[in-house]
Amino acid sequence: MPIRSFQTKLLYLLVAVLVLLQAATLIAVHVAGERTVRNTAAAELRVGSRLFDRILAGRGRQLSDTVRVLASDFAFREAIASGDRPTITSVLTNHGSRISADAAFLISLDGTVVADTLGDRLTGRAFPLPALVREAETRGESSGIATLDERPYQLVVVPVLAPRPIAWVCMGFAIDERALDEVRRLTGLDVSLWNAATRAPLLISTLPQQERGELGMRAKALAPRGRDLDETLEIGDVHYQALTHPLQTADNSRIHTLLQRSIEEAGRPYRHLELQIFALSTLALILALIASVFFARGVSRPLEELAEGAQRIERGDYATAIDIRQADEIGRLAKAFNRMRTGIADREEHIRYQATHDSLTGLPNRTLFHDRLSEAIEKARQSGESVAIIIMDLNRFKEINDTLGHQFGDELLFEIGHRLTGTLRDSDTVSRLGGDEFAVTVFVREGSLATDVAQKIGDVVEAPFTLAGVSIDVTASMGIALYPQHATDAETLMKRADVAMYEAKKNHADFAVYEPGRDEHSLRRLAILSELRHSIARDELVLHYQPKIDVVTERIAHAEALVRWRHPVHGLLGPDEFIPLAEQSGNIAVITKWVLRRAIADCGKWNADGHGLTVAVNLSALDLFDVDLPTYIGGLLAEVGLSPSKLVLEITESAIMRDPAAALRVLRELKQRGVTLAIDDYGTGYSSLAHLKRLPVDELKIDKSFVLNLRRTSKDDLVIVRSTIELGHNMGLRVIAEGVENAEAWDILRDLGCDMAQGYYVSRPLPLADFGKWVEESPWGLGRVKSEV
Amino acid sequence: MHRTLAALTIASLLGFTATATAATLTVSVHDPRGNTVADAVAYAIPEGKVVLPVRKAAAVMDQKNRMFVPHVLAIQTGTAVRFPNSDDIRHQVYSFSNAKTFQLPLYKGNPANPVVFDKAGVATLGCNIHDRMSAYIVVVDTPYVGTAGKDGRVTLNTLPAGRYTVRVWYPEMRAEPAPVAVTLGTNERNDLAFTTR
């Protein structure tokens, strides 16, 4: 598609209009010029013809005067009066030559030629031009044109006075080239004279010899019609406008003048004019072109600039202003463009800021952090440095939020952001990834230094906060991943730092450095998540049971049902690996119900066998929101015919804390139905004693993290476990310790008065069949009891 | 001119009284349209052998105000004519006529000798330096001649009885009107009329 610019279009239009106008002008001038030339030439010819007549008439008068003066010469008169013919002839010759007459006659008063200078040819005969004599009689003189010897003559007749007329004297003057030359000199016209009556018609002419010959041959064709006649002639290559004009003659001889004017010559001023007009037109065209180019540029260049400016804005380049300083509409448009540009730039900057920054803390958000991390990686790649990424998640932030309010939580987050920024260098990036999750990139000389940074961050974060009059301690879990050791791209690096962070959280550590291979685990989680939904239908879930031993009787009292997923690919998976996923994906209720149904069924069987065991089932936090759960459980118990007292439901402290009011409602209903309730993982949450007191629970399970390393020498754990047992007993609760792995721990617990204990020291969780066997055969079992019974 | 006319009148009166027996002839000249012809000359030539009286007195052709006076002078053959110059400029007098060819070189006052016109005919006079001056001297072979005034009438007195041929001349005459023969008795009065051609 041919794109024609505004400028080109304007040029084409201008050129077309100008060329058309000028061509029309030139044609009009040419046509008018041609007509004018011919008209002018014709008019010139008429003027020339009249002038020729005038010249002849004037010459006639002049000759008359001359002849009259001559005729009044006394001696001349005396000679004439002598009557002696030879004397008269000689005086005619003599005086005639004085005035250059070519012929002279003396005519008697009766019209007879008395003497002549043509060899007496006419002497004695009547004068052949009596009209001239008659005219001289009336007017005192006369002149006329006549042919003598086939030559045109101008003849003058005057009387000879003595003092009355005694005779007529006639003098003849040949009309020769000189007379014509005068006309030519005055008018620029070529004049020819010819007698139409004679065989060689052309008499005299001002034309050059060659053309004269040509015209002579043509003269016959120019048949004179006794009046003026316009003709066009072509002699040689020259075009002539011509006029034939009959002369008044005294002897009626058909003498004509032919005046001619070269058309080319007459048109020369017009040719010159046309040339001038053409030159002016061309000049005007060029000037107009130049002017229009300038004008069009004046219009189109700013337009192009505007278009470029708009394209720059389209590309997102807001820095370059459109530089048009004109006072006209285009200038105003450019100003509007510039205002629009800065407006868009401001808004986009704002939007970009919003898109890349966290509104609460003003820190870069996840998107910008990702970019910054990529940049840092690139920079480190060039400088050979290492980059550490530290992802930090606050511990128990949700609880802070819930108890102290969102406003407080927000202020806390803001303050943490502020502290982090203050702690780190400008080259490092602090970002809030979302929620209570922060991330930091740090350039480090070597990877091992990253832990120092993490330590520093930990110190900063864990320093007490005083906000709105409330003093609070915060702990955080940090995951560290290093470029280039752990990954070479931002995404993987972040994922691995995340993995490390969860690792730290799991281990209740301040921070953890990513260990290669860990995130395969998290990949597996994703796969599991998608398969979880089908696990029940495929009958892939199984229950293992771990015995809880009555510390006093040293016999099994309860069996805690622990769900396992017999995964077709990954093998047997523990609840840690899929229960959180089930909670996230909303499958937990199904799983819980399955576990309850199964555990109650198994327990019913055991009781039918007479073992009298109590089964314990873990409830998820989400299960506490299910108001129908107590009814469901009641249904199951009734179905199996199991006493509600044979069922213990274990609920973590944090699960209750999510929505204490709702949890309390469900727990109370369960309690009413006679189900035993236990607080699981006690000691990891922040539940206050006041809270605990209100809960309708029967048992307290000390979190295994306090029990695993329980030794007589580890003062801290010992204090916690002891005080917890005392607390539980004071509140009328049974206290259970889990994570008992050795005899020392067992003994300590027994000494501290713990009610029940479970752990690998007794038995790991066992499949149903093995568990049954264990119950039969283990010294902790009931086999002996049974055999005793 | 007036003086001439007066002279002529006196002469005719004298004629009447001197010769009571003489006849009187009155000639009037008209052009074809009936206009009188001034300066016409009429003269009567007696038939047969008659001895005619000769006037001895010289006639005068004066020049006044660059004009010849009179314009027409009729004289009998053999009359001497004097050419006084009354102007204070010089005049020349010439005639190329057959009746008398002569020239008087430029002069003032009275020339010494008169010019005798001894041949009948008309002498046309001119002045060489004044082209407009012209006059006629009509020379006839009879003493019975007269010049008409403006009324175109010529009265010839004292004509003896007898037969006469009466002729007229006038300036610019192309062809002479036919002469008229007339017989005059004693004391007879006769009137003739001529018409120019």
8-state DSSP, B160: P
Which residue in chain A is spatially nearest to B132 when comparing CA positions?
Answer: A163
User: Which CATH number characterizes residue B104's domain?
Assistant: 2.60.40.420
> Has residue B191 been placed in a domain?
yes
Mean pLDDT for all residues in chain A? 85
Amino acid (1-letter code) at residue A477 = S
Closest chain A C-alpha to B152 CA, distance in angstroms: 22
A261's CB contacts (< 8 A; 6+ apart) are: A41, A44, A45, A48, A188, A189, A190, A240, A241, A242
Summarised one tens digit per residue, pLDDT across range A21-33 is 888 988 888 888 8
B96/A74 touch (CB, cutoff 8 Å), yes or no: no
More confidently predicted of A202 and A126 = A126
* Residue pair B151/B35 in contact by the 8 Å Cβ criterion: no
Residue A704's pLDDT is 87
* Residue pair A300/A330 in contact by the 8 Å Cβ criterion: no
- B110 lies in the same domain as B80: yes
Which residue in chain B is spatially nearest to A74 when comparing CA positions?
Answer: B128
For chain A, the helix, strand and coil percentages under 3-state DSSP, each to the nearest 5? 55, 20, 25
B125-144 core/surface letters (b: 16 or more CB in 10 A; e: else):
bbbbebeebbbbbbbbebbb
Closest chain B C-alpha to A180 CA, distance in angstroms: 36
pLDDT tens for each residue of chain B, 197 residues long: 444 443 344 444 444 444 446 788 999 999 899 899 999 999 999 988 777 777 778 899 999 999 999 999 999 999 999 999 999 999 999 999 888 999 999 999 988 789 999 999 999 999 988 888 999 999 999 999 999 988 889 999 888 888 999 999 999 888 889 999 998 888 888 899 999 88
What's the N-to-C CA distance of chain A in angstroms?
A: 105
More confidently predicted of A523 and A53 = A53
Question: Does the pLDDT of residue A557 top 80, yes or no?
Answer: yes
Predicted TM-score of the model (pTM): 0.47
What's the N-to-C CA distance of chain B in angstroms?
A: 27
Residue A546's pLDDT band (boundaries 50, 70, 90)? Answer: very high
Residue A200's pLDDT band (boundaries 50, 70, 90)? Answer: low
Place of tokens 């067992």: A746
Residue A257's pLDDT is 85
Q: Is the dihedral of CA B11, B15, B17, B18 positive or negative?
A: positive
Give pairs for B86-90: CB < 8 Å, separation 24+: B86/B62, B87/B63, B90/B129
Q: How many residues does chain A have?
A: 789
- B69 lies in the same domain as B35: no
Closest chain B C-alpha to A144 CA, distance in angstroms: 26
- B126 lies in the same domain as B157: no
- B128 lies in the same domain as B158: no
Question: Does the pLDDT of residue A529 top 80, yes or no?
Answer: no
A161/B126 touch (CB, cutoff 8 Å), yes or no: yes
B63 CB neighbours in chain A (<8 A) are none
Summarised one tens digit per residue, pLDDT across range A56-77 is 888 888 888 889 888 888 888 8
A164/B134 touch (CB, cutoff 8 Å), yes or no: yes
B126/A72 touch (CB, cutoff 8 Å), yes or no: no
Residue B68's pLDDT is 94
Whether B175 contacts chain A with CB within 8 A: no
Residue A45's pLDDT band (boundaries 50, 70, 90)? Answer: confident
- What are the structural domains of chain A? 41-270 (3.30.450.20), 316-354 (no CATH), 357-516 (3.30.70.270), 526-777 (3.20.20.450)
Residue A687's pLDDT is 60
Asked casually if ipTM beats, i.e. exceeds, 0.90, the reply is no
B78 Cα distance to chain centroid: 13
Beta strands in A494-638 (DSSP E): 511-513, 541-550, 555-567, 571-573, 614-619
Question: Does the pLDDT of residue A787 top 50, yes or no?
Answer: no
Residue B1's pLDDT is 40
A644's CB contacts (< 8 A; 6+ apart) are: A633, A634, A637, A673, A674, A675, A676
Closest chain B C-alpha to A121 CA, distance in angstroms: 27
Residue B145's pLDDT is 92
* Residue pair B38/B5 in contact by the 8 Å Cβ criterion: no
Backbone angles phi, psi at A783, to 5 degrees: -55, -50
Rounded to an integer, what distance in angstroms lies between the CA atom of residue A399 and that of residue B138? 180
Whether A111 contacts chain B with CB within 8 A: no
Q: Which of residues 106-165 of B touch A (CB under 8 A)?
A: 124-128, 131-134
Rounded to an integer, what distance in angstroms lies between the CA atom of residue A414 and that of residue A244? 120
> Has residue B105 been placed in a domain?
yes
Residue A531's pLDDT is 79
Which residue in chain A is spatially nearest to B128 when comparing CA positions?
Answer: A74
Closest by Cα among A761, A731, A773 to A611: A773
Question: Which residues face A370 on adjacent strands?
Answer: none
- Beta carbon pairs, A and B, within 8 Å: 29
- B80 lies in the same domain as B156: no
Supply B18's token pair.
């001197």
Count of domains forming chain B: 2
- B41 lies in the same domain as B59: no
Three-class secondary structure assignment of A746-783: HHHHHHHCCCEECCCCCCCCEEHHHHHHHHHHCCCCCH
Closest by Cα among A483, A488, A477 to A436: A477
Residue B20's pLDDT is 47
A49's CB contacts (< 8 A; 6+ apart) are: A228, A243, A245, A257, A259
Rounded to an integer, what distance in angstroms lies between the CA atom of residue A205 and that of residue A230? 18
Closest chain B C-alpha to A165 CA, distance in angstroms: 10
* Residue pair B98/B121 in contact by the 8 Å Cβ criterion: yes
Sheet holding B121-127, edge to edge: B72-76, B130-140, B121-127, B91-96, B101-107
Residue B125's pLDDT is 93
Residue A157's pLDDT band (boundaries 50, 70, 90)? Answer: very high
Which residue in chain A is spatially nearest to B133 when comparing CA positions?
Answer: A163
Residue A545's pLDDT band (boundaries 50, 70, 90)? Answer: very high
Whether A74 contacts chain B with CB within 8 A: yes
Residue A219's pLDDT is 67
Give the residue ranges of DSSP H helices in A613-678. Answer: 629-640, 653-658, 660-673
More confidently predicted of B16 and A318 = A318
> Has residue B165 been placed in a domain?
yes
pLDDT (mean) for A390-397: 88
Element (H or E) spanning A167, and its range? strand A165-174
Supply A233's token pair.
């002639």
pLDDT (mean) for A708-715: 84
Q: How many residues does chain B have?
A: 197
Residue A4's pLDDT is 63
User: Which CATH number characterizes residue B181's domain?
Assistant: 2.60.40.1120
Residue A661's pLDDT is 82
Closest by Cα among A733, A731, A736, A677 to A704: A736
Q: Is the dihedral of CA A272, A274, A276, A278 positive or negative?
A: negative
* Residue pair A482/A515 in contact by the 8 Å Cβ criterion: no
**Other residues' Cβ atoms within 10 Å of the Cβ of residue A498:** 21
Which of A37-41, A257-261, A283-287, A645-649 shows the highest mean pLDDT?
Answer: A645-649
Rounded to an integer, what distance in angstroms lies between the CA atom of residue A102 and that of residue A179? 14
Place of tokens 């017009």: A270
* Residue pair A191/A205 in contact by the 8 Å Cβ criterion: yes
Summarised one tens digit per residue, pLDDT across range A640-694 is 989 999 999 998 877 887 777 888 888 999 999 999 999 888 877 666 667 777 8
* Residue pair A699/A735 in contact by the 8 Å Cβ criterion: yes
Question: Does the pLDDT of residue A346 top 80, yes or no?
Answer: yes
> Has residue B100 been placed in a domain?
yes
> Has residue B127 been placed in a domain?
yes
- B9 lies in the same domain as B82: no
Whether A162 contacts chain B with CB within 8 A: yes
Whether A138 contacts chain B with CB within 8 A: no
Radius of gyration of chain A (CA): 70
- B109 lies in the same domain as B67: yes
Residue A234's pLDDT is 81
Residue A223's pLDDT is 59
Closest by Cα among A581, A564, A588 to A525: A581
> Has residue B146 been placed in a domain?
no
DSSP string, B24-88: EEEEEEE-TTS-B-TT-EEEEEE-SS-PPP---SPEE-EEETTEEESSEEEEETTEEEE--B-SS
- B121 lies in the same domain as B157: no
Kindly list the distances between the CA atom of residue A116 and the CA atoms of A74, A105, A233, A400, A669, in Å, as whole numbers in the listed order: 20, 4, 42, 162, 179
Closest chain B C-alpha to A85 CA, distance in angstroms: 16
Which of A32-41, A157-166, A293-302 shows the highest mean pLDDT?
Answer: A157-166
Question: Which residues face B162 on adjacent strands?
Answer: B184
Backbone angles phi, psi at A512, to 5 degrees: -140, 145
More confidently predicted of A688 and A736 = A736
More confidently predicted of B18 and A421 = A421
Q: How many degrees, rounded to 5, is the angle at CA A458 between CA A453 and CA A460?
A: 95
DSSP, collapsed to helix, strand or coil, labels residue A51 as helix
A163/B124 touch (CB, cutoff 8 Å), yes or no: yes
- B61 lies in the same domain as B88: yes
Residue B29's pLDDT is 92
Question: Does the pLDDT of residue A255 top 90, yes or no?
Answer: no
Residue B12's pLDDT is 43
Q: How many degrees, rounded to 5, is the angle at CA A29 between CA A25 and CA A33?
A: 175
Question: Does the pLDDT of residue A600 top 80, yes or no?
Answer: yes
Range of the domain at B124: 53-141
Closest by Cα among A504, A509, A493, A513 to A451: A513
Which of A137-141, A580-584, A646-650 bottoms out in mean pLDDT, i.e. has the lowest? A580-584
Select the residue from B63, B67, B94, B95 to test the A interface by mutation, using most A Cβ atoms within 10 A: B94
* Residue pair A48/A183 in contact by the 8 Å Cβ criterion: yes
Backbone angles phi, psi at A229, to 5 degrees: -145, 125
* Residue pair A160/A150 in contact by the 8 Å Cβ criterion: no
Closest chain A C-alpha to B182 CA, distance in angstroms: 32
Residue B140's pLDDT is 93
- B155 lies in the same domain as B131: no
Amino acid (1-letter code) at residue B96 = F
> Has residue B78 been placed in a domain?
yes
Query: Which of B96, B97, B127 faces A78 most closely, judged by CB atoms?
Result: B96
Place of tokens 């769900």: A563
A163/B132 touch (CB, cutoff 8 Å), yes or no: yes
- B124 lies in the same domain as B181: no
